[in-house]
Structure 1
Amino acid sequence: MAPTASRGAPLRVPRFRALWAAGFLSWYGDFLSLPALLIIAYQLGGEFGVGMLFVFQTVPLLGLLPIGGQMGDQGDRRRRLVALDVVRASLAALMIISAQGHLLLVLVLAVAASRSASALYDPGRRRLVPVLLPPELVGAGGSLLSVVGESSILVAPALGAVLLLVVSPSVLIFVDGCTFLVSAFLLSRLGAQPSVWTGHVATAKQGWRQLRRGFDLLLLDRTISLFAIQAGMGAVVAGVVTVYFVPIAHHSIHLPTDQVGLMYVIVGGASVGGSLLALRQPQVGRRGLVVIGYIHLLVAILVGSLLGPVVVVGALIVFAGTGALQEVWGFNRLQTTTPRDGIGQAFGAALWFQFLGRAVGAGLGAWGASHLAQVDFFYILVVVAVAFCLLATLSRSVFLYRSTSNWPPGNPPLPLEP
């Protein structure tokens, strides 16, 4: 089969086509309503409400991502996925009720429950690819799902922002809920997909053990350790920037509340541009990776400044673009320097660390909004983040840095790539 034909060949398999379409709706539904939730949270609780929204959206992922892969492979996968879609549709209805009833606590709890369902959803869906496709199409099928998943993170919020120009936030959340119901219908046509049950306690222990192993792998290479620290600090700053989206849009860019979602269009476009630039030069040295991390942090001062729309929008574009550059280059280096049998665990640990940073940043943003002026808070935040990274950069050995000769503790060292 020709290479160009093989890319779309999995979609000619009816059951995989149903899985892919359901994944498209489910993934885009996850992020479509993000601008609407941002606006509703700000209307109900100001910056504190937005901060709590993103804290409750992220914290469930920290607990469930390490065990989601194992739990997603237990029981009837199809029935589990359908149930999770129905649950998320019901939670979308609860979000609408909380918005109409001005119930911020109910809103953030519904968001937390929805993100928990999402963390358990994706692993089970990916496990179905080798079940529904012949071996020669599994790689292409996984790529098709990955394209949808990765694009939804940037495209869906921007699409939601554009839709908010013509519909209300509650209507957008209703559309979000409908995507989950259609996804559930498509998945119900896959037929039973049973798998072997194992003990949940053993599953949880295995997931956290793999997460710790991933962190150890991040510490095998000095540059990767610095990348992880800088990316974590960048995630903290990004969490704060998200909390301040509405004030930045109001006071610096002069957008009305119903157009605040357009900030996602700016960020999404800059992130796509940064990723494309990184793909043109996939290999970068240690110095380049470290420098781009510092630019990413320092430009956040201008994002939080009140220097006018041109400066703030330009800084926001540079912030999002350098973040994408840093992530692509950092993960490329991670893939080439990590022992082959631990790449997936190292990736998982790095992503978990970034989620933690975003949760911490959202919490700090919620606190800072009520205690400090916006400009002062951004200056303090960036100075502390840069100082922490400088300490790691200038030290002879990064915090907890480990040599490959004595990892893992008490066991033979992993084989390294030649």
Structure 2
Amino acid sequence: MLDVLRVRDFRLVAVADLLSGLGDWLLLVAAPYFVLRLTGSTMATGLTLAAETLPALVLGPVAGVFADRCDRRRTMLAIDVLRAATVALMLLVHHPGQVWLIYVALIGESGLGQFFDPARRALIPALVGRGPRLAAANSLTALVSGTVRLVGGPAGGALYALAGFGPVVALDAASYLASAILIAAIRHRPGPVSPQRQRGTVLRRFADDLRAGAAHLRVTPGLPVVFATAAIFLLGNAALTALLVPFTGTVLHAGAGTLGMLFAALGVGYLAGAPLSRAAAARFSDRRVMITSLAALSAVFAVTFHTHDIGWALVLFVLIGPPGVCFLVAVDTYLARRTPDALLGRVGSAYGMIQAAATLAGMLGGAVLGQQVGIGVTADLAALCVAVSAAVALLIPRHSTADSLDASKSSLAAPPERSADC
């Protein structure tokens, strides 16, 4: 898996992702606590988390087209600089009447991220190819995510307690600027401008691009089923996420410290899952990895939220990580290998919209059901939802390697085309 770091440009992207991700998680913990201290309102605190979800649902289509029409490296560079400036707005907040600035900054940061993520996803296959290195790159990305989850949350809480909100915000802004510097050093450049893509008005070209992306998702064998599988899994996963706080308090009879330990255990599982996902990708098809991972997750989920022992809960949270990472890496690799470079941004943003919508619905449903029917029954329903996603994954066609786009090549045969609009 680490062999892919020999690709200089991917190495820059991976380190940039690590730095900006750490900054995000520092703020993810500190911002709600800061708002709670200023306002004393749990609703105001909850809005800081809701502000992260809405932009993904609204901006997804625009972001995907933008990522495909523009130089992805330049897009990522500009977005990082803008995110640094947006986050810095929170340094101006000193009393409850200014809390709205935090919401503006969080929505702006999340909205800009909707343009960054599809561009990053689409750039990776251009840097490492669509062969074995693509799965390795996605596994390494999962390793970065696990590291961020393990370190970012506790570090954010500790830094906020020791130094206050301002230094956390400054560090997050600095992480974006450091990421921008690394991305600026990427040597990869897109191919020549395509004159045909410049015809018509901006609105007409945008509509045409949306239709092309939707058509690819609709007619490419396997993609609709993979999207449905991911949506059902994420729905159940988010419902369980909504149960974490009441599960910790009412089932484990523990406090915030134990909740932090559970998140850390999940991070350990993510770290362990990264090399496992690479090994699984080398031995099995993406289809088999998805089915097996989801089946394992449904079993672990079914047990986890019924345990009353903190020690066993920590062990089970570690066990959630490996199959979760294997599934997510398999989905990313599957989508990239069956999507032309010119459409990767739109497919990535569509997947991001599915993630956001399913997560929002799952968290709302989990919270309501947990209140109405109890934690145990809701957890069982969520685990059943994940089991259903494993059954749906059985409908994924059994593609051969030849069915993938350039699956056996280390890089694309021809450079991607870009519009002159950006």
TM-score tier (shorter): 0.5 to 0.7
- Counterpart Cα distance in 2 of 1:387 and 1:128: 33
Aligned residue among 166, 172, 175 for 1:176: 172
**1:186-230 Cα distance to aligned partner (Å, 9 max, x none):** 77899xx99989655245424533442343256x24xx7655433
Q: Which amino acid is the alignment partner of residue 207 of structure 2? A: K
CA contact under 8 A between 1:303 and 1:313: conserved in structure 2?
Answer: no
**Closer, same or farther: CA 340–245 of 1 in aligned 2, 3 Å:** same
Deviation at 1:116, TM superposition (A): 0.8
- Counterpart Cα distance in 1 of 2:123 and 2:217: 28
Aligned residue among 137, 160, 176 for 2:152: 160
- Counterpart Cα distance in 2 of 1:357 and 1:22: 28
Matches within 5 A, 1:84-163: 84-95=79-90, 101=96, 107-122=102-117, 139=128, 150-163=142-155
Number of matched residues? 382
Match of 1:216?
A: 218
- Counterpart Cα distance in 1 of 2:348 and 2:151: 28
Match of 1:64?
A: 59
- Counterpart Cα distance in 2 of 1:80 and 1:202: 22
Deviation at 1:113, TM superposition (A): 1.9
**1:150-202 Cα distance to aligned partner (Å, 9 max, x none):** 54432223222232463226343442123234556777899xx9998965524
Q: Which amino acid is the alignment partner of residue 160 of structure 1? A: G
Q: Which amino acid is the alignment partner of residue 203 of structure 2? A: V
**Closer, same or farther: CA 239–95 of 1 in aligned 2, 3 Å:** farther
CA contact under 8 A between 1:306 and 1:375: conserved in structure 2?
Answer: no
Match of 2:317?
A: 316
CA contact under 8 A between 1:27 and 1:149: conserved in structure 2?
Answer: no
**Closer, same or farther: CA 112–149 of 1 in aligned 2, 3 Å:** farther
Percent sequence identity is 18
Q: Secondary structure at the match of 1:299?
A: helix
CA contact under 8 A between 1:158 and 1:265: conserved in structure 2?
Answer: yes
Deviation at 1:232, TM superposition (A): 1.8
Q: Secondary structure at the match of 1:327?
A: helix
Deviation at 1:276, TM superposition (A): 2.0
- Counterpart Cα distance in 2 of 1:331 and 1:24: 18
- Counterpart Cα distance in 2 of 1:86 and 1:286: 38
Q: Secondary structure at the match of 1:300?
A: helix
Q: Given the two structures, how large is their TM-score scaled by the length of structure 1?
A: 0.66
**Which structure's relative contact order is higher, taking Cα pairs within 8 Å and 6+ residues apart?**
2
**Closer, same or farther: CA 27–126 of 1 in aligned 2, 3 Å:** same
Deviation at 1:88, TM superposition (A): 2.5
- Counterpart Cα distance in 2 of 1:240 and 1:104: 29
- Counterpart Cα distance in 2 of 1:369 and 1:252: 12
CA contact under 8 A between 1:232 and 1:353: conserved in structure 2?
Answer: yes
CA contact under 8 A between 2:19 and 2:176: conserved in structure 1?
Answer: yes
Q: Secondary structure at the match of 1:307?
A: coil
Of 261-270 and 197-206, the range deviating more from structure 2: 197-206
CA contact under 8 A between 1:71 and 1:200: conserved in structure 2?
Answer: no
Q: Which amino acid is the alignment partner of residue 293 of structure 1? A: L
CA contact under 8 A between 1:240 and 1:365: conserved in structure 2?
Answer: yes
Match of 1:34?
A: 28
Q: Secondary structure at the match of 2:158?
A: coil
Deviation at 1:32, TM superposition (A): 4.0
Residue ranges of structure 1 left out of the alignment (5+ in a row)? 131-136, 405-414
- Counterpart Cα distance in 2 of 1:99 and 1:246: 29
CA contact under 8 A between 1:293 and 1:326: conserved in structure 2?
Answer: yes
Matches within 5 A, 1:288-327: 289-305=290-306, 307-327=308-328
Deviation at 1:360, TM superposition (A): 1.9
Residue ranges of structure 2 left out of the alignment (5+ in a row)? 406-422
**Closer, same or farther: CA 123–331 of 1 in aligned 2, 3 Å:** closer
Deviation at 1:268, TM superposition (A): 2.2
- Counterpart Cα distance in 2 of 1:377 and 1:6: 42
**Closer, same or farther: CA 284–41 of 1 in aligned 2, 3 Å:** farther
Match of 2:242?
A: 243
**Closer, same or farther: CA 107–207 of 1 in aligned 2, 3 Å:** farther
**1:313-338 Cα distance to aligned partner (Å, 9 max, x none):** 233223332222223345556667x4
Q: Secondary structure at the match of 1:305?
A: coil
Match of 1:280?
A: 279
**1:235-264 Cα distance to aligned partner (Å, 9 max, x none):** 122223333443444455666436744433
**Is the counterpart of residue 25 in structure 1 residue 23 in structure 2?**
no
